[in-house]
Amino acid sequence: MANYSTNEFRSGLKVMLDGDPCSILENEFVKPGKGQAFNRVKLRNLKTGRVLEKTFKSGEALEGADVMDMDMQYLYNDGDFWYFMEPESFEQHQANENAVGDALQWLSEQDICVVTLYNGAPLSVVPPNHVELEIVETDPGLRGDTAQGGSKPAKLVTGATVKVPLFLDQGDVIKVDTRTGEYQGRVK
Amino acid sequence: MTNWQPGASLAMLRYRAKLLADLRKFFSQHGVNEVDVPLLGRSTVTDSNIESIAANTLGGSGYLQTSPEYFMKRLLAAGTGDIYCLGKAFRNGEAGQRHNPEFTLLEWYRCGWDEHQLMGEVADLISQIYTANGQSPVAVHRGSYADYFAEMLAVDPHAATLDQLQQLAVAAGSHSWAGETRANCLDLLFSVQVEPRLPQGLVFVYDYPACQSALAQTTTNSQGHLVSRRFEAFLNGMELANGYFELRDGAEQGQRFAADIRARSAANKPVVALDNHLIAALQQGLPSCAGVALGVDRLLMQLQGADSIAQVMPFSWDRC
C-alpha cells in the first residue's frame, strides 16, 4: 500500500497504526510560532471501534490500510460464522463473531449490510439503519393505553431487546433504528 | 462555480478595519513610530522550524519575510528608537484553523525595556483593544514556563532528562516521538498538554527553556537553570504573541544561526544563508531593547469569537 503524509490525511482515509487498520476522523494542524509543526489526528481503530487521538510530526507518513467498505447481502449463520454475499459477483465471505459484533442482534437473512473488508476478509459489519422485526416476547399489550406514553421491554426475533409502547403485543412487527436501538413505529 | 467572494463577512471586515486603526492609535498615543520594512528580502530566517517562501527577482534569490524582525533590528541599530510594524508576514506550508501562509503581524520594540515591562504593555494594548470594542478587559495571568509545565505535567522542564521528556512525549503524542530532540518534545508537551489547560484570559508565560531561545538573551533562574528571556502570550488558550529581551551579541547570534543551518542540513530542509546585514548591525550595536510579535488575525478571532482564521481575513489561501 502507498504511504500517506500528514498533509494528505483526510477524513475517511484508512491507514495502519500500530498494526491495526484505522480510519481518520479529524486532522488538525498545530504549530507553535517558533516550534516544531505537528498534526493532531483523531482515528477510529476499525478492529476495536475505539477512537484514538495521536499527535504526529508534520510530514511524517503512515502506511495505507487495505480496507474497503462494500454492500453485501446477509445469507445465513451456521453456528460458527455469518455468511455475506457480494450482490454483483455472488462471491461469499464468512465473518466471525468478532467482526459481526453488535450487528448480530439486528440481522435478518437477506438484509443488505455494509461489510468492511480488511486484506479481503470481513473486519466489521454495519446493519441497515432501519430494520423491521417481530416481537417474540413482551408483557401483554394494554389496549386503550395508547396515550399514556409509558414503555416496556420487548424481545425481538433476532435477539435484540428494545423499549416499546405499552399497547404493543407479541407478534407485532416494529421498525427500529439500529444506530440508536430505538423503536420507530409499528409496521402492521 | 468559482468562489470569488471573501471568507470574512462584511461586518467582520469592518471590525478588522477598526482593529487595525485602534492598534495604530495605541502606538501613536505611546510615541512609537510606524515603520514599513520590506516584505521581500535577499535573506531570511534560519530557524529550522520556520520555512520561508522563495520569491526570486532580478536574477537573484529572494524570500518573502517570515517577520519584520531583521529589518527592524537594523533600524534600531541605526538609531530609530521605539518602532512598530503592522503588516504581512509569510510562512511556507502553514495552513489550518489558526494558520494561513500569509497573515498579519504586529511587531514592536521598546528601547531600554526588558521583557517584563513589555508584557505589561502587551496587557495594556489588549485591554485598550477590548475596551474600544465595547467588551470588558480580559483577566491577566503571569507565570514561568516551568510553573505552568510542572502544574500540568508534574515535571520540571529544565531539570528533566531527555529520556523522561521523550517518554512523556510518546504518551502524549505517538511512538514516533521516541527519538526526538529536547526542544521538539517540549513543544509537543506544551502545545498538547499545557496550552489547552491554561486559564482563560491573557496568560503570559516567561523564562522559556534555553534550547528555545532563538533571538532572546539567556539567564540563570532562581533554581540555577539556564533559561531564555523569552515570553509568549496566550489569549483564551490560543498562542497570540512571542517576545524577547533581545540578544545583542553579534557573535553569539552568528553561532545560533550557524547551529540552525546545521540543524536544517541534518533534517534535509532547504539551507538558507545567514543574514550578514543583521550580524553586522548587531556588531555595530543594538540598543538594549525588548520586542514582541503579535498575531493580529488571531486577536480578531478572539475578539469576535471566530473559530477559524479564514473567517477573519478577506481571502484566506484557499480563496486566493
| Mean pLDDT, rounded, of chain A | 91
A147 CB neighbour count, 10 Å cutoff: 7
Q: DSSP strand E in chain A: where?
A: 3-5, 14-17, 20-30, 38-45, 51-57, 61-63, 67-77, 82-85, 92-95, 112-118, 121-126, 130-138, 151-156, 161-165, 173-177, 182-186
Residues from chain B contacting residue A37 (CB–CB below 8 Å): 49, 93-94
Q: Does domain A3-63 have CATH number 2.30.30.30?
A: yes
- The dotted CATH code for A130-186 is 2.40.50.140
Mean pLDDT of A88-92: 93
Q: Which fold has domain A67-126?
A: OB fold (Dihydrolipoamide Acetyltransferase, E2P) (2.40.50)
Task: Out of A70-79, A145-154, B157-166, pick the least confident.
Answer: A145-154
Q: Are the beta carbons of B245 and B259 closer than 8 angstroms?
A: no
Percent with pLDDT over 70 in chain A: 96
Mean pLDDT of B8-20: 98
Res A122: pLDDT: 94
Contact B174 A34 (CB under 8 A): no
- B21 with B102, same domain: the answer is yes
Here the cell at position A24 is 481518520
Per-residue pLDDT of B235-261, as tens digits, reads 999 999 999 999 999 899 999 999 999
Per-residue pLDDT of B39-86, as tens digits, reads 999 999 999 899 999 998 888 889 999 999 999 999 999 999 999 999
Q: Are the beta carbons of B185 and B168 closer than 8 angstroms?
A: yes
pLDDT above 90: residue A1:
no
Per-residue pLDDT of B186-228, as tens digits, reads 999 999 999 999 999 999 999 999 999 888 999 999 999 999 9
The letter for the amino acid at A145 is D
Q: Which of the four pLDDT bands, split at 50, 70 and 90, describes residue A148?
A: low
Q: Is residue B148 part of a domain?
A: no
Question: Residue B90 belongs to a domain with what CATH number?
Answer: 3.30.930.10
- Cβ burial of B13 (10 Å; 0-12, 13-18, 19+) is middle
Q: Is residue B110 part of a domain?
A: yes
- B89 with B30, same domain: the answer is yes
pLDDT above 60: residue B118:
yes
Query: In angstroms, what separates the C-alpha of A56 from chain B's closest C-alpha?
Result: 7
Give the domain range for residue B176.
155-198
Q: Is residue B145 part of a domain?
A: no
Q: Which of the four pLDDT bands, split at 50, 70 and 90, describes residue A144?
A: low
pLDDT above 60: residue A156:
yes
Q: Is residue B229 part of a domain?
A: no
- B265 with B312, same domain: the answer is yes
- B76 with B112, same domain: the answer is yes
Chain A within 8 Å of B170 (Cβ-Cβ)? Answer: no
- What total number of domains does chain B contain? 2
Per-residue pLDDT of A43-53, as tens digits, reads 999 988 899 99
- Which ipTM value was assigned to this complex? 0.83
Here the cell at position A11 is 477524513
Q: Are the beta carbons of A164 and A175 closer than 8 angstroms?
A: no
Within 13 Å of residue B299, how many CA atoms lie on the same side as its CB?
A: 30
Length of chain B: 320
Residues from chain A contacting residue B263 (CB–CB below 8 Å): none
Q: Which of B99, B188, B239 sits opposite A38 (nearest CB)?
A: B188
- State the SS3 of B33-48: EECCCCCEECCCCCCC
Q: Are the beta carbons of A178 and A106 closer than 8 angstroms?
A: yes
Q: Are the beta carbons of B53 and B101 closer than 8 angstroms?
A: yes
Chain A within 8 Å of B94 (Cβ-Cβ)? Answer: yes
- B260 with B313, same domain: the answer is yes
Q: Which of the four pLDDT bands, split at 50, 70 and 90, describes residue A141?
A: confident
Chain A within 8 Å of B293 (Cβ-Cβ)? Answer: yes
- B134 with B256, same domain: the answer is yes
Residue B162 carries which DSSP code?
Answer: H
Chain B within 8 Å of A38 (Cβ-Cβ)? Answer: yes
- B122 with B268, same domain: the answer is yes
Residues from chain B contacting residue A54 (CB–CB below 8 Å): 173-174
Round to whole Å and give the CA distance between A17 and B103.
35
Q: Is residue B232 part of a domain?
A: no
- B29 with B178, same domain: the answer is no
Contact B183 A36 (CB under 8 A): yes
- B120 with B163, same domain: the answer is no
Pairing verdict, β B33-34 and B83-90:
parallel
Q: Are the beta carbons of B125 and B15 closer than 8 angstroms?
A: no
| Mean pLDDT, rounded, of chain B | 95
- B42 with B185, same domain: the answer is no
- B55 with B97, same domain: the answer is yes
Res B151: pLDDT: 95
Contacts of A89 (CB under 8 A, 6+ apart): none
